[in-house]
Structure 1
Amino acid sequence: MNLNVPTLEVQMEIFEGPLSVLINLIKRNKVDIFDIPISMLTDRFLEYVELVKQMNLRIAEDFIEMASLLLYIKSRMLLPREEEDPRMELVERILEYEKIKIMVSAFQELPVLGEDIFPRGQGGFEVEQDQDLMALCTLFFELIKSREERFIVIREIRPTLEEKLEALRAVLAELGVYSWNPRGDMDTSEKVATVLAMLEVVKSRLANFAQKRPFGTVVLTRR
């Protein structure tokens, strides 16, 4: 018996994270992001996770977390209709992720400050560096989102960005490593300037980036 039930396609690809998997599924199958067929999307996402397991590839914790969230939303969709659509949390996360991706892409197009003084690495960006920029842009996005007057913040930090960048380069040159806790006592404007300086250093390939968990301590190591 053919019930003509729509299906979502999934192919074995390597993605940056769980949200990029979901976005790929949504775009490939032309799904309305504001009316996501959560049951099918959950099934296809779990299929992808299972395929990765079968290939003996490591499943990151964020994939397990996303699978749990999808199953939770799917279970809520089976209950009597709620005033708030349980899918909206997922929609907001996807839209925010897309904004950050656009920010990363735009930042990569900017000229590197001091590129006539500091040598650049051979070839284009590596996948690892793209992920570093994504993590830093996520941190930057959250910092400016916490302020109501975002554009005023940007004007405030411009005079201090060069100073932050110069200080960061000096620390890396002398010590070879720089660590920073985004939850420290700096005001928001100074935090934003610090993140922008780190973005510039990572983009110019002067340092490697490491962060064990989102919004945890950031460690830059001189290349």
Structure 2
Amino acid sequence: MANEEDVLTFKLQSFEGPLDLLLHLIKQNEMDIYDIEMVAITSQYLDYLHRMKKMQLDIAGEYLVMAATLLNIKSRLLLPNEQAPQVEDETYEDPREELVQQLLLHQAFKEAAANLKGFADERQQLISRPQALVPEDAKLGQLEDGLEVKALQQAFVRLLTKKKLEVVQAPRQVQAERYTIKDEMQRLNRLLQENHKPVLFTALFENGDREEIVTTFLALLELVKRKKVVASQSEVLGDLMIERKVDAIESS
């Protein structure tokens, strides 16, 4: 027969307060947290405090406060009461209700902490690449002759505003790509090559729907990036002029 002191054994370091201990006892006894058996829980909780005392451990005040709370709830459930719950009485309040709410809240925070720890453990398995230094000669956001990329963006926004293109509802079925950046790059190259002088930015988008216009703009940006064409602007928010570079014409 097992010794009485060996019936219940707790690892003190596994509990982070009285609510944590109560959750452990409820789980161990397979109780419904909404219908706690106060006699059994209170008995086991007090037994835990007695064991702490026998081990000459200091009992935190919050554990004693919870012990008093459990005894109070237990007595209110056991003692006769004129306001005992009746089927037709909807004003009766279960003495355990406040305790249940505290346990549910503590359990929610405990689960959230466990999830955060899991995310932290996953993050520790990753190694971030240090940010590379920007080359001193890099021209960030600059086109040829110091013209900013923002100027092209602003011109494109003004173009879309003037055209007021109708938004076409996206098809429900996957369709073949009608326009490609590669094809538009070739078209722009031919257009600029046929003209022996700069072409107005808006002239590149005279025809076409929204999809074609966006593809053309992306093709233009790619040509600028590859230094095949240059964009110039005589004044702020003025008309942009697009032309092929001399070395691009010679190499074509």
- What TM-score results when the alignment is normalised by the length of structure 1? 0.44
Q: Specify which structure has the bigger relative contact order, considering alpha-carbon pairs within 8 angstroms and separated by 6 or more residues.
A: 1
- What TM-score results when the alignment is normalised by the length of structure 2? 0.40
Q: Which structure has the greater CA radius of gyration?
A: 2
